[in-house]
A = this chain, B = another copy of it.
């Protein structure tokens, strides 16, 4: 019985987090009320306060939970890439996957919200930076370290190489999305073309002998 109770409570938490994420993304942090989240999640306001203390804490949990989901996807791709024999194709696949995951419209809105509130809620931005941004860099860096030890890449600083990989890939599309809101997003084909061109340049610096 205890296990059932726990899983019911975990399911409720997940439903509240999902409802909160949707509300924050569509109405912003200030524009979202706990009442609205409660209605969307089909629970009472009291339940939300009992589980998550207050709105700021709930927003932090949404950000943490999103960071974990994104990282799980990235890690599944880097794990595959660490074992690849075909460096160029594997890296292209990683670049396209990162592009698709990170340029998702809902995620971009959440990212903009985190930046908007970074001064007011320093803990929130710090938490996204550490468990989202830096963990993602670390996953890719660890994959590059493996590839280097297998002679498929050359780098003495895998973390710097990972930051170059992300920067070459995302500097234009990510900034465009941050500054211009969600209007005129680039097509999937354009983003993939940009990803491929960035992988080509990246391989000139960091590609190993057997690329």
Q: Which residues of A contact B (CB under 8 A)?
A: 28, 109, 112, 114-119, 122, 125-126, 128-129, 133, 137, 157, 160-161, 163-164, 166-172, 175-176, 178-183, 197-198, 201, 204-206
Contact = CB atoms under 8 A, between A and B. Distances in A.
How would you classify the secondary structure of chain A's contact residues: helix, strand, loop or mixed? Answer: helix
B179 A171 contact: no
A129 B176 contact: yes
Contacts of A28: 119
A163 B171 contact: yes
Contact of A126 (B114, B125, B126, B179): B179
Given A28-B119, A112-B118, 15 more contacts: A109-B119, A112-B116, A112-B119, A118-B179, A126-B183, A128-B179, A133-B175, A137-B172, A157-B197, A160-B197, A160-B201, A164-B167, A166-B167, A167-B167, A171-B171
